[in-house]
Amino acid sequence: MTAILNANFVRQQIGMKASMTLRTPLLAVFALCAASSRAADIRVGAEVKTIAAAIKMAQPGDTIHLEPKVYRDYAGFYGKKGEAGKPITLDGHGATLEGSEPLDAAQWKEVSPGLFAHENLIAKNDDAIMGRWFFLWDGKMNLMGRTSKGRSAPFKKAEDLQPGEWTFVKDASREPPLGKQIYGTFFLKLAEGKTLADVKIFAPMRSAGVQLSVDNANRDNAHLVIRNLTATHVYNDGFNIHGDCRDVVFENIRAIECGDDGISAHESAEYRVDGFVSIGNSTGITDTVAAHTSYNRVFIADCHGFDLFFLDNGRYRLTNAVVLSSSQNPFMLAGRDDKRAELDLENVLIRRVAEKSSPAQVAKTATLRAKKLTVENLPVDWRGEVKLENCIINGQPAPEGVPATGADRAQLIRDLVPAEYRNQFSQP
């Protein structure tokens, strides 16, 4: 029998089964203790039906297993704790947590030829959500020139939409006098003669792929491992981390085409990441407030707002990373409200591939310490405390006059960069 049947079965049906199989009460107690302390394997789709049920069941030392397939679901950890040396593990085994859902054509009204409207697409809406919103249109992310944490085009008027475009029109008459809730109508414009049944349009109906936050009793998460998992097509962060979490580890994770950050630490969250791919998100990484984070083996590309965004009085570290920069704002390190942000970089390659660029910025309220950093085709504006060792900034050694090798460029490209992006490193 599997570990789950040996351990969780006794956890759930302890009294009855123990008394049936063991007549001596003391032996029954010993059996319970042994079974309760034994690590269990919880397989979603086998022992439990949902990811939420598996997380709720999991005890220190247990491992939750997903199948290598697409789940239209998310993984939420709220006040969940393993123990030191006995973490609760979520192993995706290559699974994808898909945040979008196909549109229900029956819920949309054709208000004029090719123009479709929906007044209640999402139950909870506010300006922040609309700043992140997109539709997947024939498999492609359609942002309408808008992005979180960056310059955004205003919403178009419904009558000005062209085929393949969408907009949102607020209805102020429905909004409450207080609070952030907003109401309005989504509009989609299709090519002449097309119906919603003819096209493949999906909407991001979930806010995150993996979320850590406090529970109703304000308890935080601790001693967790989350690995081998992709989060995609959510309207907020792929990996959204809140609270005062401790001893949390992410291994071999990916965030693809999310409305806000690939991964983001808030409040006083502490975690480390070993193996992270962030592609097509509004930002690659955004960490803020008093978080302490560490990232190793990272690839970031095709972001819209920021590639790297570190704020407030957190302590951050990034090693063995490649950033293929095309976002509006490639790099920002800044403290706020009299706080000081600190970032350590080691063996990092940042290559700008877009023609126009704002500079990589280190504010006066920040400290950057960098070893073996290579920056290519990207102006810098470093006003804070900057300590450089063996770095190359736009072809020049830094510190100036000291021979430097910079990042291990060839090895980083070989080890971290997906094959479809490698040709972007062969150009000047």
Q: Please compute, for residue 129, the number of CA atoms within 13 A of its CA located in the half-sphere on the CB side.
A: 20
| Domain shared by 219 and 151, yes or no | no
Nearest to 4 by CA among 69, 58, 68, 49: 58
Determine the Cα–Cα distance for residues 399 and 393; give it in Å rounded to an integer: 9
| Domain shared by 119 and 157, yes or no | yes
Domain that holds residue 325: 40-99+206-425
CATH code, 302? 2.160.20.10
| Domain shared by 145 and 228, yes or no | no
Tell me, what's the pLDDT at 366?
98
Q: What is the rounded average pLDDT of the residues 198-220?
A: 95
Tell me, what's the pLDDT at 387?
98
Is pLDDT at 1 greater than 60 in this prediction?
no
Question: Is 147 in contact with 251 (CB distance < 8 Å)?
Answer: no
| Domain shared by 375 and 238, yes or no | yes
- Copy the structure tokens of residue 316: 């951050």
Average pLDDT, the chain: 92
Is pLDDT at 37 greater than 80 in this prediction?
no
Is pLDDT at 364 greater than 80 in this prediction?
yes
| Domain shared by 89 and 229, yes or no | yes
Tell me, what's the pLDDT at 6?
44
Is pLDDT at 392 greater than 70 in this prediction?
yes
What SS3 string covers 34-73?
HHHHCCCEEEECCCECCHHHHHHHCCCCCEEECCCCEECC
| Domain shared by 124 and 238, yes or no | no
Nearest to 324 by CA among 296, 361, 286, 351: 351
What phi, psi does 69 have (nearest 5°)? -145, 180
Q: Looking at the 3D structure of the chain, how many domains does it have?
A: 3
| Domain shared by 395 and 327, yes or no | yes
Tell me, what's the pLDDT at 351?
98
Show which of 141, 176, 204 is a domain's final residue: 204
| Domain shared by 334 and 226, yes or no | yes
Is pLDDT at 29 greater than 60 in this prediction?
no
Show which of 204, 225, 247 is a domain's final residue: 204
Nearest to 187 by CA among 142, 250, 252, 249: 142
Tell me, what's the pLDDT at 428?
66
Question: Is 99 in contact with 73 (CB distance < 8 Å)?
Answer: no
| Domain shared by 247 and 299, yes or no | yes
pLDDT tens per residue across span 136-168: 999 999 999 999 999 999 999 999 999 999 999
242-251, 325-334, 355-364 — which is least confidently predicted?
A: 355-364
Assign 288 to helix, strand or coil.
Answer: coil
Burial of 402 (0-12, 13-18, 19+ CB in 10 A): exposed
Show which of 148, 178, 204 is a domain's final residue: 204
Question: Is 321 in contact with 294 (CB distance < 8 Å)?
Answer: no
| Domain shared by 172 and 121, yes or no | yes
Q: What is the rounded average pLDDT of the residues 18-31?
A: 43
| Domain shared by 47 and 148, yes or no | no
Determine the Cα–Cα distance for residues 116 and 108; give it in Å rounded to an integer: 6
Spatial CB neighbours of 140, under 8 Å, sequence gap ≥ 6: none
pLDDT tens per residue across span 86-121: 999 999 999 999 999 999 999 999 999 999 999 999
Q: Tell me the one-letter amino acid at 110.
A: E
Tell me, what's the pLDDT at 177?
66
The size of the chain, in residues, is: 428
Tell me, what's the pLDDT at 14?
33
Tell me, what's the pLDDT at 10?
39
Per-residue pLDDT band for 264 (boundaries 50, 70, 90) equals very high
Between residues 23 and 302, the one the model is more confident about:
302
| Domain shared by 88 and 163, yes or no | no
